[in-house]
Amino acid sequence: MQISLIIADDHPALITGVKHELADFHTISIVGTASNSTETFELLAKSHCDVLVTDYVMPGGEFGDGMTMLSFLRRRYPDLKIIVFTTIDNRAMVAEMVKIGAHAVLSKVDVIGHLISAIHAVYAGATYFSPKFRSSSAVGRVAQIDPAQKLTRRETEVVRLYVSGVSINEIASQFNRSKQTISSQKTSAMRKLGIERDVELFRFAYETGLLTEGGTPSEHDTMDAMLAEHE
């Protein structure tokens, strides 16, 4: 699996930083960057793109920005997964973005791990939102059920890494186990949770906080250290 990605933002430093953070993830391929809506549509016209990460306020382009640009994107590219990466924290505006067709809305103050997880989540067909916009009612439902308690430590580790964008082969290499063993542990975890599709696994991991709050783990991190961050 490799996700083709375009990043659109009128701040070059932000694009450089995001590209640097995503460089180590073999599941993500950045096919281009844009600084306004004109450049964004030009890139989309000539490049295959699975996921677009775009700023909300990005003036100067032929197709505008904000809701206007999102509307153009949705009409012209109905299958494109759109992540809005913004400084806006108004819940009503976020709701409008989703209504128009954004699959994820993240705050630029979120740790980079949320962006990485959102890219994989929307690619799989799920939605993803900044913790600032997380539904308190959804959190309450998850807290009551707490299905993660059913998983073994290793199953939890495998799920956490997988939803963070690490492939089954890479997880197997990290834990010095066979691909079949890791795949079986993922399947076992999904069966215990009553989950049949990867999209549901992404949603479960997001809602229960299995995703690493401090960012997605690198291959040099130990799972003990990552688990300690949540204790």
pLDDT digits (tens, 9 = 90+) for 65-117: 999 999 999 999 999 999 999 998 888 888 889 888 899 999 999 888 889 88
- E-strand ranges in the chain read 3-8, 28-34, 51-54, 81-86, 104-107, 128-129
- Which among 125, 134, 127, 85 has a CA at the least distance from the CA of 107? 85
What SS3 state is found at 55? coil
Compute φ and ψ for 28, nearest 5 degrees. -120, 130
What SS3 state is found at 181? helix
Residues in the chain: 231
Domains along the sequence of the chain with CATH: 3-135 (3.40.50.2300), 151-208 (1.10.10.10)
pLDDT digits (tens, 9 = 90+) for 84-94: 999 988 888 88
HEC sequence for 131-150:
HHHCCHHHHHHHHHHCHHHH
CA distance 216 to 166: 9
pLDDT for 221: 36
pTM of the shown model: 0.67
Strand partners, 52: 6, 82
Cβ of 1: how many Cβ atoms within 10 Å? 13
Compute φ and ψ for 26, nearest 5 degrees. -70, -10
pLDDT digits (tens, 9 = 90+) for 179-206: 999 999 999 988 888 888 887 787 777 6
The alpha carbon of 23 is separated from its chain's Cα centroid by a whole number of angstroms, namely 15
